[in-house]
């Protein structure tokens, strides 16, 4: 399917997606396709600007207000927003050159990741092992950053969230973990701590973090380092039949 897409000469970006247009390996800018409400606002601003100037004024570059230009085709003032470009493709129909161009898209709808458990020791006199888990609700905010800066953003977000959760969870008593206000404050601290990396660098908007489990538990871990428990002779017998 991906091979066939390389021969396509167009791509449709849906309303629930963002896209990137690569040409010969480089992400290029395309003219922004504004949504209906924004276009109506642009037209309204153009009408107001044109009503404020006489036709004689249009030929004088100095009289053109900021944010507008003089159209040679219509002879009227047009908003410079019509010429704005961005590397992030919005909803619309885009032409591309087969084999040379590639348009990548991804879903920008909200998602929820259910993270696995971690365990941290409490600071009680008799230390308890506290098992903690959380869910994170997020969406793609800037697909250019998400696609180019971080590899496998869902896996990276999962692992980074667990790392921050572990960091923020250390140094507390089990009594604190039973306090709902403490848990809510910890959720906010985790969001604030993640924003610099996840939002500003990776382009992912953190909508909310929910600590779903925080219970005292007992975990038994078995670690083994050494040669295989099954000898090579046994493996050969299994394989040979």
pLDDT, tens digit, for every residue of 194-227?
A: 999 999 999 999 999 999 988 888 766 666 666 6
Element of type H or E holding 42: helix 36-51
Taking alpha carbons only, the member of 213, 185, 229 closest to residue 119 is 213
**What confidence score (pLDDT) does residue 234 get?**
46
Please report, rounded to a whole number, the percentage of residues in the chain having pLDDT higher than 90.
65
Among the residue ranges 125-139, 161-175, 220-234, the one predicted with the least confidence is 220-234
Q: Cβ(49)–Cβ(65) under 8 Å?
A: yes
Confirm if 98 and 147 have CB atoms less than 8 A apart: no
Determine the pLDDT at residue 4.
Answer: 67
Q: Where in 52-182 does DSSP place strands (E)? A: 68-70, 77-79, 85-86, 88-89, 92-95, 101-107, 111-114, 118-121, 129-140
Mean pLDDT (the chain, rounded)? 87
Q: 68 or 110, which is more confident?
A: 110
Cα–Cα distance between 227 and 230 in angstroms, integer? 9
| Average of per-residue pLDDT across 173-185 | 93
pLDDT band of 55, cuts 50, 70, 90: low
pLDDT at 143: 97
Residues 6+ apart with CB under 8 A from 200: none
Q: Which residues pair with 79 in a beta bridge?
A: 68
Q: Is the pLDDT of residue 182 over 60?
A: yes
Burial (0-12, 13-18, 19+ Cβ within 10 Å), 121: middle
Q: What is the mean pLDDT of residues 49-70?
A: 72
Domains of the chain: 2-106 (no CATH), 110-217 (3.30.479.30)
pLDDT of residue 235: 44
Q: What is the pLDDT of residue 86?
A: 96
Q: What is the pLDDT of residues 93-105, one digit of tens each?
A: 999 999 899 999 9
Residue with tokens 């365990």: 119
Average pLDDT over residues 56-74: 73
Q: 3-class SS at 6?
A: coil
User: DSSP character for 225?
Assistant: -
- pLDDT, mean of residues 112-121: 90
**Residue 83: both structure tokens together:** 């010429």
Residues in the chain: 241
Among 119-128, 131-140, 225-234, the range scoring the smallest mean pLDDT is: 225-234
Give me the mean pLDDT over the 183-194 stretch.
Answer: 94
Residue 58 pLDDT level (bands cut at 50, 70, 90): low
The pLDDT score that the predictor gives to residue 224 is 62
Tens digits of per-residue pLDDT, 69-84?
888 887 788 999 999 9
């Amino acid at each position: 399917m991906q091979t066939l897409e390389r021969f396509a000469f167009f791509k449709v970006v849906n309303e629930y997606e963002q896209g990137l247009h690569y040409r010969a390996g480089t992400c290029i800018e395309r003219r922004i396709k504004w949504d209906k409400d924004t276009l109506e606002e642009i037209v309204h601003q153009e009408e107001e600007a044109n009503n404020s100037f006489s036709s004689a004024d249009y030929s004088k570059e100095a009289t053109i207000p900021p944010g507008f230009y003089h159209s040679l085709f219509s002879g009227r003032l047009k908003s410079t927003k019509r010429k704005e470009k961005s590397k992030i493709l919005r909803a619309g129909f885009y032409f591309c050159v087969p084999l040379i161009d590639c348009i990548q898209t991804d879903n920008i709808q909200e998602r929820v990741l259910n993270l696995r458990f971690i365990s941290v020791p409490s600071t009680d006199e008799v230390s308890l092992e506290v098992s903690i888990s959380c869910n994170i609700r997020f969406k793609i905010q800037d697909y250019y950053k998400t696609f180019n800066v971080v590899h496998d953003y869902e896996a990276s977000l999962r692992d980074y969230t667990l790392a921050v959760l572990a960091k923020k969870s250390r140094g507390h008593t089990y009594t604190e973990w039973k306090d709902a206000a403490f848990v809510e404050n910890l959720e906010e601290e985790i969001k604030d701590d993640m924003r610099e990396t996840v939002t500003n660098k990776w382009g992912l908007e953190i909508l909310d973090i929910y600590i779903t489990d925080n219970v005292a538990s007992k975990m038994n871990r078995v670690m083994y380092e050494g040669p295989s428990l099954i000898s090579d002779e046994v493996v050969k017998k299994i394989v040979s039949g």
